[in-house]
Amino acid sequence: MSRPGFVLEVDDRTPPLVVHEGEGFRLETFPLGTRVIYPPESLPAVPDVDQAIQHALRNPEGSDPLPELLFPGMRLTVAFDDLSLPLPPMRSPDIRQRIIEAVLTMAAAAGVDDVELVAANALHRRMTAAELKHIVGERVFRSFFPQGALYNHDAEDRSNLTHVGLTDQGEDVEINRRAAESDLLVYVNVNLVAMDGGHKSVPVGLASYKSLRHHHNSKTMVRSHSFMDHTKSHLHHSAWRMGQLLKEHLNIFQIETTLNNEVFPAPYDFLMKREWEWSIKDQGSMLAARRALSLAPARLRHKMFHDLRAPYGLTGVHAGDTEQVHEKTIAAVHRQQLVEVHGQADVLVMGVPYLCPYNVSSTMNPILATCMGLGYYFNSYRGQPVVRRGGAVILYHPLKPDFNQLHHPSYVDFYEEVLAESTDPAVIEAKHEQNYAADPWYVHLYRTSHAYHGVHPFYMWYWAAHAMDHVNEVIWVGADRRAVQRLGFRAASSLADALEMASDTVGRSPSITYLHNPPHLLADVR
Amino acid sequence: MLALEMYRSLPRHVAGKVVGGRVPGLLSGYAAPLRMVTIDQPAVARPGWARLRTRLSGICGSDLGALSGRTSLYFSGLVSMPLVPGHEVVADLVDDCEDLPEGTRVVIDPVLGCVARGVEPCAWCLAGATNRCDRITVGHIAPGLQTGYCSDTGGGWGQVLTAHRSQLHVVPDAVSDEQAMLIEPLACAVHTALRAQVRRGDRVLVSGAGVVGLFTTLALRSLTEAGQITVVAKHGRQRELARAFGATEVIALDGALRGVRRATGAFHVQPDFGPGYLLGGVDVAIDAVGSKTSLETALHATRAGGRVVLSGMPAAADLSAAWFRELEVVGSYASAGREPGAGDRPAFEVAAALVADDVLAPVDGAVASYPLYRWREALDHAHAAGRLGTVKVAFDPRSSR
Amino acid sequence: MRRGVFRGGVDDVRTMARGWRWGRRSMVPRSAEAYVQAAEPTVFPTDWSRTRPLRVLREVAQKGGLEPLFRSQVRTRVEGLDVLRSMTGPVIFVANHASHLDTPLILLSLPDDWRRRTAVAAASDYFFDTWWRAVGSAVVFNTFPIERRGGTMATTSGEVLADGWNLLIYPEGTRSTDGWVARFRMGAAWLAVEHGVPVVPVAHRGTFAAMPRGQGWPSPGRRQLTVRFGAPVRPAEGESARDFGARLQAAVAVLLDEDQDTWWAARRRSARGETPDPAGPDVAQWRRVWQQSQSPPAGAPGGRRRRAWSLTR
């Protein structure tokens, strides 16, 4: 029986608590009275995954069963979420593999010949063959990849994009041509957090820059409160409008899956336990891990973390009409991640881990760390933010200004050129976004290499716009001072120093809340 | 009189060659072929010549190069030893000199052309391009391309030197000695900026932010209609000054190509070995250092058919880009008596006018002066000037401390 | 660098030792108490402590450490060991319990071959609460966990018994607070009935006087302890654990009586049903304690020991 999430109040009996900081973690002693939000424990996984998939495909929500939608001579496209989901990558077999295999088995039985598989990576980097193989599995890979029928979506390939139309608010809807011209588009999603899925799958994952700029901009992001709650997110409202338009033109069969909170495999599973329940073995593992990390050269440390594969278990799979499916999916996500929190805090503390959606097998550069902390974690709320307006945020991450030249070429320039000039999302959007989006070199690298699109660092910065707008003070603990300065924040060497610095804003005895994630949590702030 | 004298010394020259670039401290301490001596004042034997008493004389990058033996042997035929270095000079006339009375404060255009040498003017001197004079090894004075490289005229690093009337430019009273001393490097920068033939809106890259780079930036901004001026700077103070002098963008050395690529939308190519380069890039690049890295940065960041100006004394570098990208490689040496790009006025006059307009205000206080006897310290300081935030290190032979 | 790594390790260990209260009981934050999962009752494994290497280690610990120490602090008098001569194991020793001295007293009183084959039932919630106490007692005294309130632990005792070990059980379940004997629980009787093994009653006096509950070391002056083994009691065919338990308690009561007087007198009182209640007189608590805090006299049972050559009467 998994226990629900809860809010701990640090007292004299509380041991030091784990705080993630990049490729490492520390034990932090929080001031007495600090509230710590713990996610619910991992829900039990579906015992028979294949049976659950079959059930979902044959008894969909608001749609005919999948086998009845398939007929000989049809054009079938299967799109799926890219490697930014789930985090960390799932231990093989990936859930998408099992679903795609089930879909293809049905398609083969129905005599469908024209099938293509498209990774819905939008402006994310192209995945390597090995990465595609990890997601779809060896069988599917072997059957489709050499024939060129399994590929990454290319948002810059004008000849392979279709402008479907404008929404009632004048937003361009432009998506992958193959998907738009298919008789049936099956979308296979992994709904790791509440932000994913629904109409964020097809209209965003398969879109072009022209379409994305309508919702991926600083104005929309500042108003998305939060983007983890699709009913209150302007980003999602726009995606929903696009999705409704697409629905008129296109048959979409949405398959959404939800996972439990089994994020860390052994021997790191102690990171998912509540500290006061650590056994001797867990304490030993922590000591050993800390020592190993401090001794290991940076490259090995990087490998230790990035080789982690999460033993996620499936908690639900739903298929059919996008909106009806998503309702069930969100309910499942909430069951696993929602924690009720009463009242806002003056100070929000978060530990930024080694991984965000955009640095799988890559480096977590300062911009991504900011996005992870002030974007994803800050927005992990429903109702109102965990920290009050005008409060302070304290983050842990080394913020080393190391950039992966293969994956993040435009990030370096964004860091050197744009952030040196301004850190205001609205200002940099107005002045620089177009240059980066249209830069032929970035476009070239995005299309032929494995680089994120030139405009991607801007999106990362917009993700954090709501947080920057909401709080007065952002302080990083244990971070590279020059990087922090470049990002427009403040650096402290310890939590005590950070609280001292924040005292100008929130006073001497602020209420503090620490988000104890990962595993993922969603604070329901009342 | 007291002077710092540079002399021929093979062992020191070789030592300088071997370690000069790596351990400059060794050079000022032990290996420099320089000594402090008491010698006779240079004599005035011809009309038009006069003695001057040095007020300030700067240490130039080319001086350091010569002392450390990094200068190409090409120039060994153009100098006469032993010599007193120092060609950035502000001085007082000791004698009357034609129309100028004794005591006039002047700066010297160091080029020793046909007129000063008392020979029939060559074609270049006739045209006013005195820096291109073909007769710098002949005439009634010893060979030497400039004051400060000639054994007969003395140089700024001694108490007294001689100069010809044609070299002298009067300093207005409002200009301080420090600023006046900077007129010579600024004149060179003016010449460089004009040599670059920048058209309206051109993107210019200045590689290096020492005196040459900073002043070139200033000259480009003042005299041309350059669009974006990107300066590659290493040190904090240099970055500030580059901005103050009109740079639109200042980038670090390791990010130079990346920054240019971003600004120009060029494509980056990474060869199997060696530094990467751009296909596309700036219209004009100016190498204001003379090192291999700096020169190659300039060559690699320039668009096809663009222009690369050699402002520093150049080191050997890979010229493939010049060939493949059909670059115009343009030299820029000293300054001309008549600058076609500036209405045929002398570069010194243009520079003096700029100084009078107080454009050098940002470098106030960034000049350090030393008495002659502390020359080792001064050379050390000059080597580290960029890092320490000093723009110019100079000798003040009048001072004893 | 290397030094930094070392220092970091020391700091980590210190942080964890303090945060997780190493060597003491771990604590749960008050606000988390509502979410604590009911502890899955786990049986501390003690099989390892009955392996050959550990038996050797225990022999060394008992003979080389425990016995000299014990004898230096108290005086003992052992009676009735002859009952063991006619028996082979396994048996269950059932004794009254008044002090931590009871176990060393009984173990060290046993003949070596019996001692080496005897395991001691120890309260799991006390002796097996922290790992160091569990390991320490298992090594030195060959303890195994038993649940005072009955339940899952019984299986361990049965297994140990089935392996041929003698058990020492204190059926009162805890040390007496005043030196008098409390009511016996059914555990030992149940085991004996279930496994059909004889029970040897053991009675001892003086341990409460020497080192009562709450005292960490025997009182000075080498107090006298006595221990007396009784004739084995066997469960009759079809006898219930309850009835057998009552017989055991009676057997211990008679032995205690005998230890204060003579065998013959005790037998007669027993036959008349007049054996003094080992639970003690129903008088004020201080008088009960007062009486028990008196060490047994250092002499023969039943009063004065007469020296054969003594001229005095």
Q: What is the pLDDT of residues B236-265, one digit of tens each?
A: 899 999 999 999 989 888 888 988 998 888
Determine the pLDDT at residue C237.
86
β-strand partners of B230: B205, B249
Domains and CATH numbers, chain B: 2-182+360-395 (3.90.180.10), 189-333 (3.40.50.720)
C-alpha span between A174 and A197 (Å, rounded): 18
Across the interface, whether the CB atoms of A11 and C5 are under 8 A apart is answered no
Contacts of A294 in chain C (CB under 8 A): 4-5, 8-9
Cβ contact A439–B255 (<8 Å): no
pLDDT band at B17 (very low <50, low <70, confident <90, very high): low
Tokens of A278: 């650590």
Read off the pLDDT band of B401 (50, 70, 90). Answer: low
Helices (H), A234-297: 234-249, 280-295
Cβ–Cβ gap B265/A412 under 8 Å: no
Alpha-helical (H) ranges within A160-279 are 177-180, 202-205, 209-212, 218-222, 234-249
Chain A residues near residue B249 by CB distance under 8 angstroms: 417
Show residues of chain C in contact with A276, CB under 8 Å: 20, 26-29, 32
With CB atoms and an 8 Å threshold, state whether A416 touches B249. Answer: no
- CB contacts of C33 in chain A (<8 Å) are none
Tell me if chain A has a CB within 8 Å of the CB of B265. Answer: yes
Return d(Cα A36, Cα C298) in angstroms, integer: 65
Does C9 contact A27 at a Cβ distance shorter than 8 Å? no
- Are A393 and A374 in contact by the 8 Å Cβ rule? The answer is yes
CA nearest to A93, candidates A102, A84, B191:
A102
> Tell me, what's the pLDDT at B278?
94
At B209 the three-state DSSP class reads coil
Burial C205-243 (b: 16+ CB within 10 A, else e): bbbbbbbbeeeeebeeebbbbbbbbbbbbebeeeeebee
Measure CB to CB from residue B259 to each of A416, A441, A444 and give the nearest one. Answer: A416
Beta strand extents in B77-232 (DSSP E only): 89-93, 105-108, 160-164, 168-170, 204-207, 229-232
| Cα–Cα distance, A191 to A86 (Å, whole number) | 8
* Chains sharing 3 or more CB pairs under 8 A with chain B: A
Any idea what DSSP says for residue B165? Answer: G
Per the prediction, chain A carries an average pLDDT of 93
Q: B172, B179 in Cβ contact below 8 A?
A: no
Interface with A, mutate which of B262, B270, B278 (most A CBs under 10 A): B262
pLDDT in tens, B142-151: 998 899 999 9
CB atoms within 10 A of CB A255: 28
Closest CA to B26 of B401, B355, B368, B379: B379
Closest Cβ–Cβ partner in A416, A417, A441 for B265: A441
Q: Which of B251, B252, B265 lies closest to A440 in CB terms?
A: B265
With a pLDDT cut of 70, the percent of chain B lying above it is: 96
Q: How far apart are CA B294 and CA B312, in angstroms?
A: 10
Q: Which residues pair with A38 in a beta bridge?
A: A6
| Residue A512 to residue A521: CA distance in whole angstroms | 17
The tokens describing B255, both together, are 């990010």
Does the CB of C9 have a partner CB in chain A at under 8 Å? yes
Is the pLDDT confidence value at C173 over 80?
Answer: yes
Q: Do A27 and C19 touch (CB under 8 A)?
A: yes
Tell me the C-alpha to C-alpha distance, in Å, between residue C35 and each of A19, A61, A262, C11: 21, 36, 19, 30
CA dist., res. C267 & res. C274, Å (int): 10
Q: Which of A413, A440, A444 sits opposite B258 (nearest CB)?
A: A413
Distance separating alpha carbons of residues B229 and B247, to the nearest angstrom: 5
pLDDT band for position B27 (cuts 50, 70, 90): low
Contacts of C among chains (3+ CB pairs under 8 A): A
pLDDT score, position C187: 84
Closest-approach residue (CA) in chain C for A277? C28
Least confident range of A97-106, A330-339, B245-254: B245-254
Residues on chain B touching A413 (C-beta within 8 angstroms): 258-259, 261-262
Helical ranges in B86-182 per DSSP H: 114-117, 123-127, 177-181
Q: How far apart are CA C6 and CA A471, in angstroms?
A: 39
Please determine, for residue B179, whether its predicted confidence score (pLDDT) is greater than 70.
yes
In SS3 terms, chain C reads as CHHHHHHHHHHHHHHHHHHCCCCCCCCCCHHHHHHCCCCCCCCCCCHHHHCHHHHHHHHHHHHHHHHHHHHHHEEEEEECCHHHHCCCCCCEEEECCCCCCHHHHHHHHCCHHHHHCEEEEEEHHHHCCCHHHHHHHHHHHCEEEECCCCCCCHHHHHHHHHCCCEEEECCCCCCCCCCCCCCCCCHHHHHHHHHCCCEEEEEEECHHHHCCCCCCCCCCCCEEEEEEECCCECCCCCCCHHHHHHHHHHHHHHHHHHHHCCHHHHHHHHHCCCCCCCCCCCCCHHHHHHHHCCCCCCCCCCCCCCCCCCCCC
Which of A209, A123, A126 has the alpha carbon at shortest distance from A163?
Answer: A209
Find the CB nearest C9 among A7, A14, A291.
A291
- A290 at interface of C, judged by CB pairs closer than 8 A: yes
Q: CA–CA separation, A384 vs A372, rounded Å?
A: 19
Q: What is the per-residue pLDDT across A367-382, written as a single tens digit (0 to 9) for each?
A: 999 999 999 999 999 9
A454 → chain B, closest CA residue: B262
The SS3 call for residue A490 is strand
**pLDDT, tens digit (0-9, with 9 covering 90-100), for B183-218:** 999 999 999 999 999 999 999 999 999 999 999 999
Residue among A346, A338, A354, A376 nearest A467 (CA):
A376
Domains along the sequence of chain C with CATH: 47-292 (3.40.1130.10)
Q: Write the residue in C16, C29, C34 that is nearest to A11 by C-beta.
A: C29
The neighbouring-strand residues paired with B163 are B50
- A87-96 as b/e: b if 16+ CB within 10 A: bbbbeeebbb
Is C30 touching A (CB cutoff 8 A)? Answer: yes
**Is A514 exposed, middle or buried, given 0-12, 13-18 or 19+ CB atoms closer than 10 A?**
buried
d(Cα C204, Cα C220) in Å, to the nearest integer? 19
Does B268 contact chain A (CB < 8 Å)? yes
Q: Is the peptide bond before C296 cis (omega within 30 degrees of 0)?
A: no
Banded model confidence at residue C302, pLDDT cuts 50, 70, 90: very low
Burial B119-131 (b: 16+ CB within 10 A, else e): eeebebbeebbbb
Q: What residues form DSSP beta bridges with B198?
A: none
Q: Tell me if A8 and C9 make a contact (CB, 8 A cut-off).
A: no
pLDDT over threshold 90, residue C293: no
d(CA B396, CA A306): 62
Please name the residue that has the structure tokens 């820059």: A209
Interface of A with B (CB under 8 A): 412-413, 416-417, 435, 439-441, 444
- Which residues from chain B sit within 8 angstroms of residue A440, using beta carbons? 265, 267
Q: Is the minimum CB–CB distance between A299 and chain C shorter than 8 Å?
A: no
- Cβ-based contacts under 8 A for chains A and C: 68
Compute, in degrees rounded to 10, the torsion defined by CA atoms A179, A185, A188, A191: 80
Closest Cα to residue C246, out of C106, C102, C94, C103?
Answer: C94
Among B252, B262, B266, beta carbon nearest to A413: B262
Query: What pLDDT sits at residue C312?
Result: 44
Q: CA C78 from chain center: how many Å?
A: 16
User: For residue A421, is pLDDT > 50?
Assistant: yes
What's the CA gap between B279 and B266, in Å, rounded?
Answer: 6
| Residue B324: other Cβ atoms inside 10 A | 12
DSSP secondary structure code for residue A231 in this structure: T
- pLDDT band of residue C178 (cuts 50, 70, 90) is confident
Q: Kindly list the structural domains of chain A, giving each domain's residue range(s) and its CATH number in brackets, ordered by start.
A: 6-43+337-525 (3.90.226.30), 53-259 (3.40.50.11440)
Residue type, A449: S
Question: If you average pLDDT over residues C214-224, what whole number do you get?
Answer: 87
pLDDT value, residue C310: 45
CB contact under 8 A, C8 and A291: yes
Statement: residue A251 has pLDDT above 80:
yes
Read off the pLDDT band of C35 (50, 70, 90): confident
Q: Given CB atoms, is C39 within the 8 Å cutoff of chain A?
A: no
Q: pLDDT band for position B129 (50/70/90)?
A: very high
Q: Which amino acid belongs to residue C91?
A: V
Weakest mean pLDDT among A119-128, B315-324, C299-308: C299-308
Q: Verify cis geometry, omega within 30 degrees of 0, for the bond prior to A518.
A: yes
User: Which pLDDT score, from 0 to 100, does residue C1 have?
Assistant: 42
Cβ pair A417:B261 closer than 8 A? no
Which amino acid does the sequence have at A408? H
Run of H or E including A20: strand A17-20
pLDDT single digits (tens) B294-325: 999 999 999 999 999 999 888 889 999 999 99
Chain A hits for B266, Cβ within 8 Å = 441
- Give me the percent of chain A exceeding a pLDDT of 90: 88
Phi, psi for residue B92 in degrees, rounded to 5 = -105, 140
SS3 for B207? strand
Considering only CA atoms, which of A45, A37, A60, A65 is closest in space to residue A2?
A45
Option in A412, A416, A439 nearest B265 (CB): A439
Provide, as residue numbers in chain A, all residues whose Cβ is less than 8 Å from the Cβ of B258. Answer: 412-413, 416
Q: How far apart are CA C45 and CA A171, in angstroms?
A: 68
Q: Looking at the predicted structure, is the pLDDT value of residue C181 above 70?
A: yes
Q: What are phi and psi of B177, to 5 degrees?
A: -60, -45
Any A CB within 8 A of B255 CB: yes
With contacts defined as CB-CB under 8 Å, which chain B residues touch A417? 249, 259, 262-263
User: How large is the average pLDDT for residues A214-227?
Assistant: 89
H helix or E strand, kind and range, residue A298:
helix A298-306
Q: Which of B384, B387, B374 lies closest to B395 in space, CA to CA? A: B374
Asked if pLDDT for residue B335 goes beyond 60, the answer is yes
DSSP string, A156-181: T-GGGEEEEEE-TT--EEEEEHHHHT
Q: Taking a C-beta distance cutoff of 8 angstroms, is the pair C241, C193 a contact?
A: yes
